[in-house]
A and B are shown apart, each in its own frame.
Chain A
């Protein structure tokens, strides 16, 4: 029997399915997508967006684990000023692997490919994405690229850092080509997924869901998809050029042969800066959903939040030069990039104000996802402020390529993405698997993760500010205390993640059956059974409310409870 929905405000549609699922026989006419076919083949050949999302979840978590292990290896190595557990070459490979895996195999696909895939069709009231087969293809493209990259890493690995800067990357004798080619292939997965989402949002919305009734997560994924489709080809081309240089030695980046060494950096950051929004915009979407669900209020300034996503997507394309203040670009260019970068801060600040405004006077239900929301606000504000600082040309000249920058991007990009990913995982876990987890452990681990994160990276801000360069194997003894603190923090962070893994796996195996809508959320994705049936809805389509996050305003007591 499913848990009763306290003070149920769910629409009739949900109530109807509730009854159907309550029998716990698994024999009823509409099995959930999880039980509709249980053979391996039924998973591997599925075109169900939900199953594809779950498979992406599996692989993305796997890569998160791999990247995390390498992060810990790097941190352990830095415990002492001299060699600790590996030699210099192994260290170079370790941080390169960590960066490549985390960026291309975890952060970029994490939220769109997993939760975008699973939730987007539910949120627009569709039975699936616009091109289900293409969707499956994108999973296999991703796996092909990832396998190739991992194969390359196991057979020698690369030592260039995830940025693959020329001229080093054209000369290194490590096995760079398969890694670059693997990353190149995963790019197609991004593009295909992005196109699929764009078309889905346009053509698959249920009657009555107009653009301004779309959940904000959909807006965020839409904006992300546009960046993915526009920017990914650039890095695709660039990676090919580097492979060409590395293998055939064309001299495209070699000034002695008429090439341009800085060209690489321009092209790389033209993709990689927007890529940070590919990572962080979906998080913004997740947070918009969570903040209104757990404050029990409609989002404050819906349109501002929606438009600022598009604004970030747009300005994000013109900020890449802030990575190149010391690469010989003119001071004038630098100043322009400096200003444009700060504009991104304005759009982000709009969102932060709206989120905080949503919490204000809300009836906050402090559950695990909300804890991650709080962590996220903190990391975004703190990381964003340091972002404005490093976007200031005069300051960045001294901070460039130091641990200050490492700490900054971990705060904003990793803090943002990891908080968003964990928040989404905890918020939608009952939706995806129909199970509950222990909220107490959820809060404890969230606290450990947020705390650990601070202990890892605040020392790195201090290290960078006092001159510790990035990607160095050895360092002067006076930096050791801060390095030890950072490693200790990383351990706490890892512990928190291990706890999450334990209770979520336990919940999958032996967890209690979750109610269809355990949070009493008004999100459209909750208007069907949890886990949803294969075709998402049974019977008539749900009736969508007038506004996307339609919570009863406490001030308007006379407002109807349900739609």
Chain B
């Protein structure tokens, strides 16, 4: 009797999809800044040298050295932890708009996420401005954690470094940005990189309004090198990253596979029980 269940699951999934659809159709909240509008609508940035060149599956610059908000200095790799995928954002602290939008929405998604910060994943925010300092890191960190309602020892570090180290890290994830003398601002893409626990690039989440579901799925996917079959992995099999829409889409074959497994499993289990009972009683043949 699993099949009605799997059908039910499909109905629910359809409803869920219907419910989320209008959310993406909403127009951007800020019309003023063209860069932001573009970022929000997922359009490519207009500025020369601002882009993301996807480096999926490639290692990030693990040797690049940074200093975190506690003043500890070390290679990037020293902030990676076994089993924990990482949400990596590249921002600068004096940023007027875009960085805040990106990080604010990241915070919103993290709050809504079923996964637990520190337990299921960690977060690293790296400043692309070499003039930013660990003290500023600490101040930023406090603000965000407070807004999230997290304790101050949460697993979210803010890193600063030298121009050369920053460039090495940014290049390794394909994050292309430029400095605009006129406004004294950095122009950069709106993106969150998802890294595997060993520090390879796993996914890019674009824009300033992430789907919580996408963030969760990307993290689960990034954790893939962990053995075992968790519930998230099963759920993930029903979604597939669609390069064209840059979103996780509904993967029908995944659902079908799950449904088929459930039905097949239920029927086989039933038959095994029935056959064993008969063979034990000796009434079968």
CB pair A195–B14 under 8 Å, yes or no, is no
Count, A-B residue pairs, CB within 8 A: 72
Q: Which A residues, 202 to 239, have Cβ-Cβ distances below 8 Å to chain B?
A: 202-203, 205, 207, 210-212, 226, 229-230, 232-234, 236-237
Question: What is the minimal beta-carbon distance from B85 to any residue of chain A, in angstroms?
Answer: 25
Q: Among B255, B263, B271, B284, point to the contact of A210 (Cβ < 8 A).
A: B284
CB pair A252–B284 under 8 Å, yes or no, is no
Q: Among B6, B18, B277, point to the contact of A237 (Cβ < 8 A).
A: B6
CB pair B249–A258 under 8 Å, yes or no, is yes
CB pair A258–B245 under 8 Å, yes or no, is yes
A250 beta carbon closer than 8 Å to chain B:
yes
CB pair A226–B267 under 8 Å, yes or no, is yes
Chain A 242-266 near chain B by CB (<8 Å), digits 1 or 0: 0010001010100000101001000
Q: Among B1, B244, B256, B283, point to the contact of A205 (Cβ < 8 A).
A: B283
A44 beta carbon closer than 8 Å to chain B:
no
Question: What is the minimal beta-carbon distance from B11 to any residue of chain A, in angstroms?
Answer: 6
CB pair A267–B3 under 8 Å, yes or no, is no
With both beta carbons as reference points, the residue of chain B lying nearest to A134 in the complex is identified as B1
Cα-based distance from A500 to B277 in the complex (angstroms)? 45
B77 beta carbon closer than 8 Å to chain A:
no
With both beta carbons as reference points, the residue of chain A lying nearest to B274 in the complex is identified as A202
Cα-based distance from A113 to B6 in the complex (angstroms)? 24
Chain B 77-114 near chain A by CB (<8 Å), digits 1 or 0: 00000000000000000000000000000000000000
With both beta carbons as reference points, the residue of chain A lying nearest to B3 in the complex is identified as A233
CB pair B283–A240 under 8 Å, yes or no, is no
Hey, which chain A residues are within 8 Å of B259, CB to CB?
A: 233-234, 237
Chain B 268-285 near chain A by CB (<8 Å), digits 1 or 0: 001100110110000111
| Most A-side CB within 10 Å, residue of B7, B249, B285 | B7
| Most A-side CB within 10 Å, residue of B245, B250, B256 | B256
CB pair B6–A252 under 8 Å, yes or no, is no
Given A226-B267, A258-B242, also A240-B260 (CB < 8 A): no
Chain B 204-247 near chain A by CB (<8 Å), digits 1 or 0: 00000000000000000000000000000000000000101100
CB pair B256–A229 under 8 Å, yes or no, is no
Cα-based distance from A241 to B18 in the complex (angstroms)? 12
Q: Which A residues, 130 to 148, have Cβ-Cβ distances below 8 Å to chain B?
A: none
B interface residues, Cβ below 8 angstroms from A: 1, 3-4, 6-7, 10-11, 14, 17-18, 242, 244-245, 249-250, 252-253, 255-256, 259-260, 263-264, 267, 270-271, 274-275, 277-278, 283-285
A interface residues, Cβ below 8 angstroms from B: 188, 191, 195, 198-199, 202-203, 205, 207, 210-212, 226, 229-230, 232-234, 236-237, 240-241, 244, 248, 250, 252, 258, 260, 263, 267
Q: List 28 A-B contacts (CB under 8 A).
A: A202-B275, A202-B277, A203-B274, A207-B283, A210-B283, A210-B285, A211-B284, A211-B285, A212-B285, A229-B3, A229-B263, A232-B3, A233-B6, A233-B260, A236-B7, A237-B7, A237-B10, A240-B10, A240-B11, A240-B14, A241-B14, A241-B252, A244-B14, A248-B14, A250-B17, A260-B252, A263-B253, A267-B256
